[in-house]
Structure 1
Amino acid sequence: MFTLRRYRPTDQGGVEYLHVHAIQQVGAYLGRGHWDDDVYAIEEAYLNNGGEFLIGELDGVFVAMGAFRRTSPESAEIKRMRIHPDYQGRGFGQLLLKELENRARAMGYKTLHLDTSVVQIAAQKLYQKNGFHEVGRDRYQNIEVILYEKALA
């Protein structure tokens, strides 16, 4: 059974592994740098800063993660959506994204935004299917990213 729960400090090693492993698989891993400092400081970057960080487990196995963080009083940014490559295509990303949206809405956020690289096709399809629309493009460390936004009802 797939369950979603809030991050606990004992999850840190699993978060770091899944973060690196999942983005290596799509060719978007940039190595360790300031761009992923939040992964190594979940409580500070998310839980103590108007955000949320969720862990997805399948029969006790850590298979998914995702988060949002406050970017303004009415906006939050979806971050660190990762599904272990061995468990992709089973709907876990959909469940995770919907729960993040529900929690952001409950916290009073009106808009969600995010970015994903042009090589992350499955992620693009997930976001578009869930009402996110492209609002621009950018480059980050030589990788082109698509910027998405969604108004929460």
Structure 2
Amino acid sequence: MRIRRYAPADHATVLTLHREGLAQVGLRPGDGVYYDDDLADVEGVYLRSGGEFLVGEVGGEIAAIGGLRRVSDRVAEMVRLRVRPDRQGRGYGAAVVTVLEERAVELGYHALRADTTVKQPVAMELYRSSGWRELDRRVTGPTVTVYFGKSLVR
């Protein structure tokens, strides 16, 4: 998989992949758990605001996405980590996590945070296997949101 920075031409595919990923676990934007207003302005929310947004291509098609959103000078949030349903289980999500973690260090962040839901056990395991630790759980609408964190300071 070739991982590169998001380009405006990727927008429709990124939005579709994001929504397919949510639908796969019975969630949808605006359901009280997930919103995707940020995806209307990837450049402004991520690329020009101290963050990053990456796409992973396989055979010329986008198979995975993920972003970093600035929270503070020292903390960023890993968001929108998605892998096309027909490409899951091949390590693409882990590859995007690794590159985003490296990029967070380059951007000067000291820690990362992320959240997912109990409806997404594969995402929970991906974070755990990448050295993240669970910080909290909270009921959010019809599900439970699980919060993770990882220190980037060695």
Scaled to the shorter chain, the TM-score interval is over 0.9
8 Å Cα contact 2:118-2:145 kept in structure 1: yes
Aligned to 1:121: 121
Moved more, 75-84 or 40-49: 40-49
SS of the aligned residue for 2:49 comes to coil
Q: Taking structure 1 as reference, are residues 78 and 43 closer, same or farther at Cα in structure 2, changes over 3 Å only? A: same
Does the aligned pair in 2 maintain the 1:28–1:143 contact within 8 Å? no
Q: In structure 2, give the amino acid aligned to 1:53.
A: F
Q: Residue type matched to 2:46 in 1?
A: Y
Partner of 1:105: 105
Q: Distance in 2 between matches of 1:131 and 1:148?
A: 10
When normalised by structure 2's length, the TM-score is 0.94
Gaps of 5+ in 2: none
> Per the alignment, in what secondary structure is the counterpart of residue 147 of structure 2?
strand
For 1:71 and 1:140, how far apart are their aligned partners in 2?
21
Secondary structure of the structure 1 residue equivalent to 2:11: helix
Map 1:3-152; keep pairs closer than 5 Å. Answer: 3-31=2-30, 35-152=35-152
1:31 is displaced (CA, Å) by 4.4
Change over 3 Å in CA distance of 1:123–1:109 after alignment to 2: same
Distance in 1 between the 2:75 and 2:88 partners?
Answer: 28
Identity level (%) = 41
Q: Gaps (5+ residues) in structure 1?
A: none
Distance 2:45 2:144 in 1: 24
Report the aligned-residue RMSD. 1.5
Distance in structure 2 (CA, Å) of the matches to 1:81 and 1:139: 21
Letter in 2 for 1:77: E
Q: Aligned partners of 1:50, 1:39: CA distance in 2, in Å?
A: 16
Deviation at 1:137, TM superposition (A): 1.2
Shift of 1:138: 2.0
Q: Is the CA contact (8 Å cut-off) linking 1:6 and 1:55 kept in structure 2?
A: yes
Distance 1:35 1:142 in 2: 14
Aligned-partner residue type, residue 17 of structure 1 = T
So what's the TM-score if we normalise by structure 1?
Answer: 0.94
